[in-house]
Amino acid sequence: MSTTFKSLRGDDATTTRTLLHESIPITGSILSGTYGGDTVALGSEPHIKTYSHGMFESVFDYPYLSSSANHIFDITAGYASTSALSGASNTQNTKKINIYNQMAQVLMGFDETGSVRIFDEDGDISGGGTKLKECYFVNFSRLLTKDEIKKGTFEMELMTTDGFSEATGVGSLERIKITDFSGSDGYFVNSPAGEYGVLFATASNGATVLAANQYYKVGLLFYQAGVAVISGSVFSDSDDGGILHTGKGTVTFSPAGASVTGFNTITSSTNNVMADNLRNRLYNIQFNNTTELNSTIYFCRVNNNEFNYSANPTYLSTSADGPSAIVVKDGDAVRDPHSYITTVGLYSADNELLAVAKVSEPLKKDPSNELTLRVRLDY
Amino acid sequence: MAFLDNSGDIILDAVLTDSGRRRLARGDGSFKIAKFALGDTEINYRLYNPNHASGSAYFDLQILQSPVLEAFTDPRSDMHHKLMSISRNDFLHLPILEIFENSGASSERDTTTNSFLVAVDSETEEAIGDFKGLIYGETTDSASSSKIIIDQGTDTNGSPGPTVDLSPSLRETQYQVEIDNRFGSIYNAAGTRLQSPSFVSEAQVATYYFSLRGNRMVQKITEVGAADSSINGPRGSRLMMKIGASLRLNGSTGLFTRLGGTSTVNSISVYHIDSTVRVTGVTTGYSIDIPVRFIKKV
């Protein structure tokens, strides 16, 4: 009996899990500069989408009206209602509190009394300690983070002297670098939104940028949620409760000559302006994402006496021996038949082709050899 | 002692076909891989040179250099030709499928188009009348209708001849017939539709299975006369069928104007669509594409 199919037994398939990582570099000039430059006002660039509700700002990698544009992240800012910055006369005061509470309840959850937990600087919620009450939130798109941000790979560099300008460039600007360097082996699992690590800041360019030569805890990074919570302290000097060196002073955001500086600008600025301020100070962001591939591997076992003939029309000759003569036998019954494998087809029980795998070059099959082709199907 | 080269990756990555994706999306458990087959669509075995001056290592050099295409996701485009498992290694001939054209059996093709014509409505049938190669797609049980006969066996140019029995391991017992479901469906030689397709693919290709022990559409060829079959050698089985036109072609010219053209048959102007019906032996994997032209009177 000849046959063209071979049934797979129960032990001919197994499942595996593979983690795939991609490097995601986001250059600061894409965020502010490339699509606006010095001629377009900050916030009016074509790759920045703002909304009438003013709760957040979306950043694209290309003018967003183009179908080529990809949404890369959203920026917003907020503070807790218990923050010293909270005040009824503030611009968008309610929205900023709402934003903070929304992010906190999603990312930190609720305590035993049903109150929203405030972001904790070191992740030790039960131990008390310093809370992050004034924050930027950078919500990365699923397109970039895929299943999660790879722990220990996140870096964000912020300019602390001035914002990006095409005219002056960024070469000499002082910068700090925020990383989750301890994330690969030191992360927390007490969040309802998955695992998170602490973000640390250190000087990256310029002398005496920080108040002290140390790592400062300046935020939290939620790996599966793809959200970076950045403390407002990164833009204030130590006299104003921040991490920058006193001699450098607190960062002056736009508008120029504002009476308040650093993150405190939030009291008189809309969320869009706050988002623009951060975007204009971003020198670089990079991280690796993770995609979890679940695969089934089918072991297609080809025994020595199987698949040695072919139904390929060219397998048969048009010679004097008739149109059914096998070419590779060349009229010699003793010579072994053989065939060449280029494709593996996986079929349902009713012979419908469900998946196809190709080999890179033809594999010779004859009665003297056996093959096990491992065919992987990813989900 | 040097290390062995272990750079080759022996895992093959598979891609889902359209049918596979559809079954997966259905979420009803119908996506279940139960078997595998091997194909060699890219291979031209006629490049095999058993007389190469440099010896047997060079016989298949050109074949092994054949580039392999990436996978197609259309299930009809891949696995055209499958590899076969036969326990015996001493066969010199393999069975093939051939169209048996016989005027006595009303199974000839139209000589102008070299295809079978399927009149999709009774008006076209009556206008063209009794015409060689014309299958009545509406009045399928008409005695004037042609039919398609596919013979299976090893064509050996008469050596050995038809009196020799075909090896049971090479005898085809089941046929798979694929037809564009938008155009028509498969009927038996008497003009009766015996069964529905086993499945219809995303590309609207309907697949039918007909077995030797089933509904008499498949029969063992017992005649040994030269005129009794197109196979000049040991004979296997025969598939006989007609094609019924779809309601869509029967009642509308929409598909004709979109996918076809106009021509003349027996001095009658007709719309036409050219298609193929693929018949594959499930046991041996050999397949044949039968040219079919669906026609409708203008």
Beta-carbon separation of B92 and A378 below 8 A: no
B22 interfaces chain A, CB cutoff of 8 Å: no
Say if residue A318 is in the same domain as residue A366: yes
* Chain A CA closest to residue B8: A360
Instruction: Considering only the beta carbons, identify the residue of A326, A359, A367 that sits closest to B93.
Output: A326
In a domain, A297, yes or no: no
Q: Which residue of B has its CA nearest to A309?
A: B84
One domain for residues A243 and A190: yes
Residue of higher predicted confidence among A330 and A341: A341
User: In this predicted structure, what is the pLDDT of residue A110?
Assistant: 93
- Does B23 contact A at CB distance below 8 Å? yes
Q: pLDDT tens digits, residue range B113-141? A: 999 999 999 999 999 988 999 999 999 99
pLDDT interval class at B180 (50, 70, 90): very high
Q: Which of B13, B19, B45 lies nearest to residue A315, judging by beta carbons? A: B45
The two tokens of residue A37 are: 């430059």
Beta-strand (E) ranges in chain B? 11-16, 35-39, 83-84, 96-99, 116-119, 134-136, 148-153, 174-180, 184-187, 199-200, 205-211, 218-220, 235-245, 261-265, 268-281, 287-297
pLDDT of A167 higher than 70: no
Q: Are A129 and A176 within one domain? A: yes
Unique residue bearing structure tokens 């008499």: B216
Which tens digits make up the pLDDT trace of B75-85?
Answer: 777 888 899 99
Chain B 41-70, residues with CB within 8 Å of chain A CB atoms? 41-46, 48, 50, 60, 63-64, 66, 68-70
Cα B298 from Cα B296, distance rounded (Å): 6
Asked if B89 and A356 come within 8 Å (Cβ–Cβ), the reply is: no
Provide the number of CB pairs (under 8 Å) joining chain A to chain B: 298
The answer to whether A330 contacts chain B (CB < 8 Å) is yes
Which of A2, A310, A343 is facing B78, going by the closest CB pair? A343
Q: Which of A312, A361, A373 to mutate to test the interface with B (most CBs of B within 10 A)?
A: A312
The answer to the question of residue A254 being in a domain is yes
Q: Which residue has the tokens 């002290």?
A: A212
pLDDT of residue A290: 95
CB proximity under 8 Å: A 268-307 to B: 296-298, 300, 302, 305-307
Closest chain A residue by Cα to residue B18: A354
Does a structural domain hold residue A231?
yes
A6 contact B CB<8A: yes
pLDDT at residue A340, rounded to an integer: 96
Q: Do A356 and B71 make contact, defined as CB atoms within 8 angstroms?
A: yes
Please indicate, yes or no, if residue A207 is contained in any of the structural domains. Answer: yes
Residues A123, A108: Cα–Cα separation, whole Å: 10
Q: What is the chain B residue with the closest CA to A13?
A: B33
Q: How confident is the model at residue A168 (pLDDT cuts 50, 70, 90)?
A: low
A83 touches A99 (CB < 8 A): no
| The dihedral formed by the CA atoms of B70, B74, B76 and B80, expressed in degrees to the nearest 10 | 10
* pLDDT of res. B10: 66
The domain boundary residue, chosen from A292, A311, A329 = A292
Residue A77 has pLDDT above 70, yes or no: yes
Mean pLDDT of chain A: 90
Give the pLDDT band (50/70/90) at residue A152.
very high
* Residue A265 sits in the same domain as residue A358: no
The whole-number average pLDDT for the span B37-61 is 90
Taking residues A327-345, what's their average pLDDT? Answer: 91
In a domain, residue A12? The reply is: no
B164 contact A CB<8A: no
Same domain, A257 and A307: no
**DSSP secondary structure string for all residues of A102-138:** HHHHHHT-B-TTSPBPPPBSSS-STT---B--EEEEE
Chain A hits for B96, Cβ within 8 Å: 316, 323-324
State the average pLDDT over residues A323-339: 89
CB A365 within 8 A of CB A308: yes
Beta-carbon contacts of residue A284 (< 8 Å; ≥ 6 apart): A25, A26, A27, A28, A155, A156, A157
Over residues A158-170, the mean pLDDT reads: 75
CB count in 10 Å sphere of residue A151: 21
**Interchain proximity B75–A352, CB inside 8 Å:** yes
- Do A288 and A314 lie in one domain? The reply is no
Q: Is residue A340 part of a domain?
A: yes
- Residue A105, domain extent: 18-292
- Would you say the C-alpha torsion B62, B64, B69, B72 has a positive or negative sign? positive
List, as ranges, residues 224-283 from B with C-beta within 8 Å of A: 232-233, 281-283
A312–B154 CB contact, under 8 Å = no
| Confidence category of residue B214, pLDDT binned at 50, 70, 90 | low
Last residue of a domain, one of A267, A292, A317: A292
pLDDT score at B209:
92
What integer best gives the mean pLDDT of chain B?
A: 90
ipTM reported for the complex, 2 dp: 0.85
Residues A317 and A261 in one domain: no
User: Best interface-test mutation with B: which of A6, A20, A332, A354 has the largest number of B CBs within 10 A?
Assistant: A354
Residue B169 forms contact with A (CB below 8 Å) = yes
Of A270, A292, A314, which marks where a domain is finished?
Answer: A292
Q: Does residue A353 share a domain with residue A283?
A: no
In chain A, the number of structural domains is 2
Q: Encoding tokens for residue B235?
A: 């004979």
Decide if A10 is inside a domain: no
Using CB atoms, which residue from B68, B169, B201 is nearest to A2?
Answer: B169
Q: How distant is the Cα of A290 from the closest Cα of chain B, in angstroms?
A: 20
Average pLDDT on B206-228 reads: 87
Residue A27 inside a domain? The answer is: yes
**Does residue A264 sit in the same domain as residue A321?**
no
Q: What is the mean pLDDT of residues B3-29?
A: 80
Same-domain check for residues A157 and A186: yes
Are A362 and B33 within 8 A, CB to CB? no
Give the nearest partner residue to A342 out of B40, B50, B89, using CB atoms: B40
Do residues A220 and A78 share a domain? yes
Together in a domain, A310 and A222: no
Residues of B in contact with A16 (CB under 8 A): none
pTM for the whole structure:
0.76
For residues A188-217, give the mean pLDDT.
91
